[in-house]
Structure formats: structure tokens, C-alpha cells
């Protein structure tokens, strides 16, 4: 008898085909998230669950899995939606998809940097509305990127990929995180380790790539924004609650900083009041890893993790700091 696997949301067909070869799949293809009650019901029927970041997998869902639920395999690099401590207590594996999406997310980060500095969204809207009547010397003046200073907060897989691209723009790179990189890695990236305050004060572009922890929650707020140059831009593609969105809206309204581009939000998917009226703010719908190739690769890795768990093996990409993870 085939094991039952729940897939809580839309999932690439290439991965579904692989999954259906070995399992009975309870697939939610409605385009809408499952209700909490539905998650509990599916957990009670499944040996594995493939979840989205938008699925709240709390103790009630995990308890509904009884002794048969083997793994929660998150379709993404994050896992803040899962009660990890309770999963460990229940001996339920939790996996994510690291090492797959960093280059694609770095590409988007650069698109956001260039887009906000050169006012691409504003210019596109202006042209579509029929307002372009010929070249003007002072039309949509923006900021330069080449030769500027890039500040990377969180220089892990994604942050390092972003910093590496800065070499082609002849940028000085500053970075900040808890632990300094090896000197050889700093040399490759032409990056200098600095305090958070120095990075905020000296950078022309600041990009965030940290996980959401007690230490990073609201690490960018009113005080930090006030340290930035009035000509600087903030790029956020990490976790929503790393930034105080209300403080950011005020900073943009008051021209404390020149602009910002967001792919994530404090209360996602809800936007903070005032955001949609700001021309110096780009708003994206959490598409950091949204290329066809990357999403397919992520999904296939998710299925591999599920198969590992069903085979009694340790899933290959357990979340960080899992006991016994190599």
C-alpha cells in the first residue's frame, strides 16, 4: 500500500509526477491555502506533508499526525511557519530547500536595486499612461549604482551571491553578520566586515539576507533608518519582520532615505498603510526564487526529502541546527 503525502498548495508538475510514482497524493490545487481545519485533517491522513511558508504547522497539526507523520517538507528556504520544537518532540523531521535558490534570489535582489535606483517602475507606468512626449534632461533622474558602496546584512548563500555580483559594478562591499567570514572568502568577494552602524552610515545600497530570529526581528527600524544616507536605498528580500514597515513608510515619506524595494512584508501578505502611495518604493509579491528552473529544482529536492523520510533515512536537507545534522 502506497504512503499518503499531502501537498498543501500548487506544486510543479515534474515533482508531482515523481511523487505520484511512490505515493497517494492529497493535492490542493485550488490556488488557495488550506484552512487550519483542513491542515489538521490532512495531517491525520498523511505520512508526509509538503507545506508552504503560508501554512501554519503548529502543535495541533503535528499532534494530528499521530505516530504516522514522518516529515514536514517545506517548499522554500524558510521554516518560521513550523513549530520546530514540537516537531522534534514528536520525532517528525522538518526539511527545507537550501543551496538551491540563492543565485535566483540574488538576481532578483539586483533587479530591485537597479529598479529602485533608476526608477524603472515609475518610468514604465509613466510611459504606459501615455505621458511620454519626448526626451527631457530632468526626467526621472535616479541614482547611480556603478562604483557605489553596497552593504550586505547577512552574507550567507544569498548575501554572498549578491556581493559577488557587485564585483562587476566595481562596488565597495561592506557586510555585517554575527560571525566574520574566512579571510579567503572576504578576498573573493572584495568585502569588508564592519559593525551594523558603520554599514548603515556608509552604504549607498543596503540589502538584507538574514533569517528571522529573536536577534534579527525588527533589526531595521526608525533609529537604523535615520543612520542611513538620505541618498541611500534599502532592499529587503529576507523575512518580513526583519524590518519595521511602519518606520520604513515614514522614512520614505520624509525622504530620510531615497527609496526602498521590498519582496517581503511585516504582516505578509498584508501591506502596511501608506505603502501603495509611495513612488519611491517598489513592492513585489515574494518572488525571490520565482524562476521556472529554480522552483522545479526546489520541488524535486522537497520530494527527495519526503522519500528519504519514508524510507527511514535522514532527510538530506534538514533545517539548520537539527540535532545530529552533519
We report the CATH number of the domain holding residue 302 as: 3.40.50.720
Residues 43 and 76 in one domain: yes
Give the whole-angstrom CA distance, residue 268 versus residue 245. Answer: 11
Residues 56 and 129 in one domain: no
Quick check: is 320 in a domain?
Answer: no
Domain enclosing residue 212, as ranges: 102-283
Max Cα distance, the chain (Å): 71
Give the lowest-confidence range in 24-28, 76-80, 220-224: 76-80
Averaged pLDDT, 180-203: 97
pLDDT for the residue 225: 98
User: Would you give the DSSP letter of residue 5?
Assistant: E
Q: Whole-prediction pTM value?
A: 0.90
pLDDT for the residue 325: 54
For the stretch 131-188, pLDDT in tens is 999 999 999 999 999 999 999 999 999 999 999 999 999 999 999 999 999 999 999 9
Q: How far is CA 164 from the centre of its chain?
A: 18
Known catalytic residues?
A: 239, 268, 286
Give the whole-angstrom CA distance, residue 86 versus residue 92. Answer: 9
For the stretch 228-267, pLDDT in tens is 999 999 999 999 999 999 999 999 999 999 999 999 999 9
Residues 184 and 277 in one domain: yes
Residues 189 and 297 in one domain: no
Q: How far is CA 125 from the centre of its chain?
A: 26
Residues 52 and 109 in one domain: no
pLDDT for the residue 326: 45
Q: What percentage of residues in the chain have a pLDDT greater than 90?
A: 96
What is the pairing mode between strands 71-74 and 205-208? unpaired
- Can you give the three-state secondary structure of 89-118, one letter per residue? HCCCEEECCCCCCHHHHHHHHHHHHHHHHC
How is residue 242 written as a grid cell?
526583519
Dump the DSSP string for 223-284. HHHHHS-TT-EEEE-S-GGGB-HHHHHHHHHTTSSSEEEESS-TBTTBPPTTGGG-TTEEE-
> Each residue of 47-73: b (16+ CB within 10 Å) or e?
bbbbbbbebebeeebbebbeeebbbbb
The answer to whether residue 39 scores a pLDDT higher than 50 is yes
Amino acid at each position: 500500500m502506497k504512503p499518503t503525502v499531502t501537498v498543501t498548495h500548487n506544486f510543479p508538475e515534474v515533482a508531482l509526477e515523481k511523487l505520484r510514482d511512490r505515493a497517494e497524493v492529497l493535492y490542493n490545487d485550488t490556488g488557495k491555502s488550506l484552512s487550519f481545519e483542513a491542515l489538521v485533517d490532512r495531517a491525520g491522513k498523511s505520512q508526509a506533508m509538503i507545506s508552504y511558508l503560508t501554512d501554519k504547522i503548529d502543535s495541533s497539526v503535528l499532534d494530528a499526525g499521530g505516530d504516522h507523520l514522518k516529515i514536514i517538507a517545506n517548499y522554500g528556504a524558510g521554516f518560521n511557519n513550523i513549530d520546530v520544537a514540537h516537531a522534534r518532540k514528536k520525532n517528525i523531521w522538518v526539511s527545507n530547500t537550501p543551496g538551491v535558490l540563492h543565485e535566483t534570489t540574488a538576481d532578483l535582489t539586483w533587479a530591485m536595486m537597479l529598479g529602485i535606483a533608476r526608477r524603472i517602475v515609475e518610468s514604465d507606468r509613466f510611459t504606459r499612461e501615455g505621458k511620454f512626449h519626448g526626451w527631457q534632461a530632468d526626467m526621472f533622474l535616479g541614482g547611480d549604482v556603478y562604483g557605489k558602496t553596497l552593504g550586505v546584512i547577512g552574507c550567507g548563500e544569498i548575501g554572498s551571491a549578491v556581493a559577488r555580483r557587485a564585483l562587476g559594478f566595481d562596488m565597495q562591499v561592506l557586510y555585517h553578520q554575527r560571525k566574520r567570514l574566512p579571510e579567503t572568502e572576504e578576498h573573493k568577494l572584495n568585502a569588508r566586515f564592519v559593525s551594523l552602524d558603520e554599514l548603515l552610515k556608509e552604504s549607498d545600497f543596503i540589502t538584507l539576507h538574514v533569517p528571522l530570529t529573536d536577534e534579527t526581528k525588527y533589526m531595521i527600524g526608525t533609529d537604523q533608518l535615520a543612520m542611513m544616507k538620505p541618498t541611500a536605498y534599502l532592499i529587503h528580500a529576507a523575512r518580513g519582520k526583519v524590518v519595521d514597515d511602519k518606520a520604513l513608510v515614514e522614512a520614505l515619506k520624509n525622504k530620510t532615505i531615497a527609496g526602498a524595494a521590498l519582496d517581503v512584508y511585516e504582516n505578509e501578505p498584508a501591506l502596511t498603510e501608506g505603502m501603495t502611495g509611495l513612488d519611491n518604493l517598489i513592492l513585489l509579491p515574494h518572488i525571490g526564487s520565482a524562476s521556472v528552473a529554480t522552483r522545479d529544482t526546489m520541488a524535486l529536492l522537497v520530494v527527495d526529502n519526503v522519500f528519504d523520510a519514508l524510507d527511514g533515512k535522514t532527510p538530506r536537507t534538514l533545517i539548520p541546527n537539527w540535532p545530529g545534522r552533519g
